[in-house]
Amino acid sequence: MITASDLPSINAHVASIESSQRGARGTSPAEALVRVLHLVNGEHFSGAERVQQLLGKNLPLFGVEPWFGCLKPGKFEACCGLDPSMVFTEEMRGRADLGVVARMTNRLRNNPPSLLHAHTPRSALVAGLLAKRLSVPWIYHVHSPTARDSTRAWINRVNDWVEGWALRSASHIITVSQSLRREMLKRGYSRHRLTKVANGVATQESISTLDRMEQREWRLGMVALIRPRKGIEVLLEAMKQIQQINPQVTLDVIGGFETEEYQREVLSMTERLNLGSHVHWQGFRQDVPSRIRELDALVLPSLFGEGMPMVVLEAMALGVPVVATKVEGTPEVVRHGIEGYLAEPRDASSLAAAILKMVDDRIEWHRLSANAWERQRELFSDRAMAENVSKVYRRTLKVL
């Protein structure tokens, strides 16, 4: 856990990064360093946590010193790959444990951040109260539509209320997609408080499509924290239809299940559909990019709730085409017939048809791959994401 005695090492770490990178960044050496504490849940490590991780790695290039406070013990601290001095856990021992605010205040009082940056309704609640105690502004990052982020209606209602209550004191709101910006406008937030900052990932070397042109086997993959809104059941039904037409298509499922009960339900469905030899469960993996590189296509069959899926950007960065559903911000990234194919959500036949179109022609697949790789490099880089977030920080501090 980080303490006041750790702060000099944080400053030294960031100073060394700045010294080596100052010539490449767009900020002036004379600009004041912005110190930002990101408040995150920390329990899982999936799409939103990848955004946080990449901000941690890239914000120092733009004169920002980030560090991360986790409100739950879990995978973020273990998997983020950031300098240990940049990450700590101050556990919130339940949804009503607002004592975490006092503990955070004591931890930060002698060396407070320039501002706070929250990423979830839970962390927004803490950020709003903590910002008041520390007399600093705070920013909220909308990664998905809170009112329909899960299949549990009561959880959605609670989180939506908590988010709405907390955001009354937020200085600014970042949305990861245009669809989420429209969502927040409909909820009554002023356009002057909203900035869209598209998610981004690091550029990568593309897969060699020419090496696979003669292959008849097709390896699909789904990468996600497996929970009901991700649509794995629809994908399994689509795989059953596909096997009747092209039995050389297999599916790798990469990611852990949200609960053991849900895992049992999905595995039972797989057996019932007789897909055991065609669906391979790989579980939670830290080497996701290397797993995606082995795929011929990524499939994201989400039912709802996607802001701008990081896994789609990860696939495109590797030149892996995407088959996804027309959900929320996904069509802002994948254009039908250009970087991949889009299917109707909750429709196994539509998803199966899109996948079969993908695997029907290796030459067309080669074209989709090249388009996906070029689009990510042009529009969705991690550097651009961090630079645009840093601009929001500076505008916020300048206004105040």
Secondary structure of 85-131 in HEC code, one letter for each residue: HHEEECCCCCCCCCHHHHHHHHHHCCCCCCEEEECCHHHHHHHHHHH
Instruction: Note the Cα 110 to chain centre separation in Å.
Output: 32
Cα separations in angstroms, 130 against 105, 122, 280, 282 = 7, 13, 45, 40
Task: Encode pLDDT of 258-312 as tens digits.
Answer: 999 999 999 999 999 999 999 999 999 888 999 999 999 999 999 998 999 999 9
Q: Binning pLDDT at 50, 70 and 90, where does residue 343 land?
A: very high
Tokens of 155: 């959880």
- Report the chain's mean pLDDT, rounded to a whole number: 90
- Percent pLDDT > 90 in the chain is 79
Given a contact cutoff of 8 angstroms between Cβ atoms, the answer to whether 286 and 298 are in contact is: no
Given a contact cutoff of 8 angstroms between Cβ atoms, the answer to whether 86 and 67 are in contact is: yes
User: What is the tally of helices (H) and strands (E) in the chain?
Assistant: 14, 13
pLDDT for residue 13: 45
Residues 177 and 145: their CA atoms lie apart, in Å, by 11
| DSSP, res 378 | H
Residues 101 and 118: their CA atoms lie apart, in Å, by 14
Residues 33 and 261: their CA atoms lie apart, in Å, by 47
pLDDT for residue 156: 78
Task: Encode pLDDT of 347-376 as tens digits.
Answer: 999 999 999 999 999 999 999 999 999 999
Helix-strand-coil split of the chain, %, nearest 5: 50, 15, 35
pLDDT for residue 148: 76
Q: Specify the 3-state DSSP secondary structure of 325.
A: strand
Tokens of 362: 């290796």
Return the closest-CA partner of residue 311 out of 303, 366, 297: 297
Q: Is 72 left (phi over 0), alpha (psi -120 to 50) or beta?
A: beta
Poorest-pLDDT segment among 6-15, 116-125, 194-203, 351-360: 6-15
Return the closest-CA partner of residue 175 out of 207, 147, 139, 148: 139
CB count in 10 Å sphere of residue 111: 13
Q: Is the pLDDT score of 113 beyond 90?
A: yes
Q: Binning pLDDT at 50, 70 and 90, where does residue 31 land?
A: low
Q: Map tokens 């995606």 to a residue.
A: 292
pLDDT for residue 400: 59
pLDDT for residue 20: 40
Poorest-pLDDT segment among 76-80, 106-110, 151-155, 241-245: 151-155
| DSSP, res 295 | -
Q: Is the pLDDT score of 28 beyond 70?
A: no
pLDDT for residue 18: 43
Q: Binning pLDDT at 50, 70 and 90, where does residue 221 land?
A: very high
Mean pLDDT over 322-347 rounds to 97
Q: Of residues 26 and 168, which shows the higher confidence score?
A: 168
Global pTM value: 0.86
Residues 375 and 129: their CA atoms lie apart, in Å, by 40
Q: Map tokens 């273990």 to a residue.
A: 78
Mean pLDDT over 101-122 rounds to 95
Given a contact cutoff of 8 angstroms between Cβ atoms, the answer to whether 186 and 160 are in contact is: no
- 29 by Cβ neighbours in 10 Å (0-12 / 13-18 / 19+) ranks as exposed
Q: Of residues 13 and 74, which shows the higher confidence score?
A: 74
Return the closest-CA partner of residue 173 out of 145, 138, 121, 147: 138
Cα separations in angstroms, 121 against 14, 41, 306 = 29, 9, 16
Mean pLDDT over 143-155 rounds to 78
Q: Map tokens 């559903």 to a residue.
A: 325
Mean pLDDT over 212-225 rounds to 95
Q: Is the pLDDT score of 52 beyond 50?
A: yes
Residues 360 and 212: their CA atoms lie apart, in Å, by 14
CB count in 10 Å sphere of residue 107: 18
Q: Is the pLDDT score of 145 beyond 90?
A: no
> What are the structural domains of the chain?
4-200+381-399 (3.40.50.2000), 209-379 (3.40.50.2000)
Q: Please compute, for residue 278, the number of CA atoms within 13 A of its CA located in the half-sphere on the CB side.
A: 23
What are the φ/ψ torsions at residue 332 (nearest 5 degrees)? Answer: -75, -20
Poorest-pLDDT segment among 145-149, 228-232, 371-375: 145-149
The DSSP secondary structure of 195-210, one letter per residue, reads EE----B---PPP-GG
